[in-house]
Amino acid sequence: MADLFGTDGVRGKANTYPMTADMALRIGAAVGRYFARADGGHRVVIGKDTRLSGYMFENALTAGLTSTGMNVLLLSPVPTPAVGLLTRSMRADLGVMISASHNPAEDNGIKFFGPDGYKLSDAVEAEIEGLVQSGVELAPASQIGRAKHVYDGRYRYVERVKSSFPRQMRLDGLKVVVDCANGAAYRVAPEALWELGAEVIPVGVTPDGTNINQGCGSTAPQTAAAAVVAHGADVGICLDGDADRVILLDETGKVGDGDQFMALMATRWKQEDRLKGGALVATVMSNLGLERHLESHGVRLERTGVGDRYVVERMRQGGFNLGGEQSGHIVMSDYATTGDGLMAGLQFLAEMVRSGKPASELMHVFDPVPQMLKNVRFQAGQTPLESDAVQAVIANVAETLKGQGRLLIRKSGTEPLIRVMAEAEDEAVLTASVDAVVAAVETAVST
């Protein structure tokens, strides 16, 4: 059995290993057995996004969990951060989110949250994987768990998100485009913005099971950008399929990524003496320009591996309260246990109201160092990064960039891709560096 868990739970194409109904049932039984309590008070909450396969995996996981005595509370479509929140507030032993985030509709995934509302560690996932492989003891017939729907989960989440917004502040007079990617936030995001007083132009709010992230959302902000311009909106908020990340648009439709947002919030919180530990936690993918900007304002940048769970782990270890990823995962631990795109969007709107500045000014906090990212797809069983020829090219390029930029090569944790990223002030050097590594990896893949 190949490794089940990637950088963010289990993920793959629906009805293809590991994302089959049979495997979901086995995973449900394994995780149910792992989190079973001696007193028999077992409770798990399950949320999902709007993918057609979500129904299949919800039922399979429920069967596995109840077979080990877990009582299941079904939340229906809610954002990933809502699962983290409700796991804690409902005193559950476990939270499960069925989603492949920003991936296409044919993909799906399973993410787990512990009773504290935080994603599970690598060590715990390894133990669960061991239980999947070995099989688990099922509960006696008299102790099989029950399942029921919880219909107010989204309303609880909306209230929690609104509580992170300054109580004395409203969004009256602001016209906001919100693109929900036909995903999990298609109801909660427009509702929260409207209740706070904004004029809301919703995009991507007609999910049909197959159109999640399709030409909309944080990975395709062009649709929302066109809406911003057409409606004369003040700002655009683009969420992904499970609403744990956000990409912002200014009044001209220009994109602002997670690095710019984190720079804005880190310097603001530093001024207000709210930035715990005097540091921002981000991944190795964040731009070198962000690091230089933070240094000029007396803020450290703590880098982690790619994945918001690793950002959260470092935040918890160091007692930091702000972190995130360039891709738009923003973690504010004073309010939430994981990335929350809607909550981050509200914080940006609060800064617009507080400062009276347009989105375009707040969205350009620093000049990024030119950055290029290219992906090379490989087949199962291939290990192109272990090739001596590839390693030689990587070493040569890294030496070339020394002192003027940086090179990052990594294997994706969610797709069969090698990601080649570089930064350099000289764009000709940048292009040549990335192309050299990509060519070497492509050669290794094709031989």
What are 350-364's pLDDT values in tens digits? 999 999 999 999 999
Amino acid making up residue 253: G
Predicted confidence band of residue 212 (pLDDT cuts 50, 70, 90): very high
Q: Hey, which residues does 188 pair with through a beta bridge? A: none
* Topology, domain 5-151: Alpha-D-Glucose-1,6-Bisphosphate; Chain A, domain 3 (3.40.120)
Interior/surface letters 90-113, b for 16+ CB within 10 angstroms, e for the rest = bebbbbbbbbbbbbbbbbbbbbbb
Q: 405 near 411, Cβ under 8 Å?
A: no
Interior/surface letters 233-243, b for 16+ CB within 10 angstroms, e for the rest = bbbbbbbbbbb
Q: Which residues are catalytic?
A: 101
Residue 115 preceded by cis peptide, ω within 30: no
pTM for this entry: 0.90
Q: What mean pLDDT is reported for the chain?
A: 95
- According to CATH, what is the number of the domain 258-362? 3.40.120.10
Farthest-apart Cα atoms in the chain, separation:
69
Per-domain residue ranges of the chain: 5-151, 156-252, 258-362, 371-446
Residues contacting 91, CB < 8 A, separation 6+:
43, 115
Question: Residue 2 pLDDT more than 80?
Answer: no
Helices (H), 145-278: 153-163, 188-195, 222-231, 258-271
Would you state the pLDDT for residue 397? 95
The CATH-assigned architecture of domain 371-446 is 2-Layer Sandwich (3.30)
Question: Residue 38 pLDDT more than 70?
Answer: no
CATH of 156-252, one of 2.60.120.10, 3.40.50.620, 3.40.120.10, 3.30.9.30: 3.40.120.10
Least confident among 59-63, 122-126, 347-351:
122-126
Question: Residue 414 pLDDT more than 60?
Answer: yes
- What would the pLDDT profile of 139-174 be if each residue is shown by its tens digit? 999 999 999 999 999 999 999 999 999 999 999 999
Would you state the pLDDT for residue 41? 63
Is the fold of 258-362 the same as that of 371-446? no
Q: CA torsion angle for 136, 138, 144, 149 (degrees, to 10)?
A: 20
For 49, what's the count of Cα atoms within 13 Å in the CB-facing half-sphere?
38
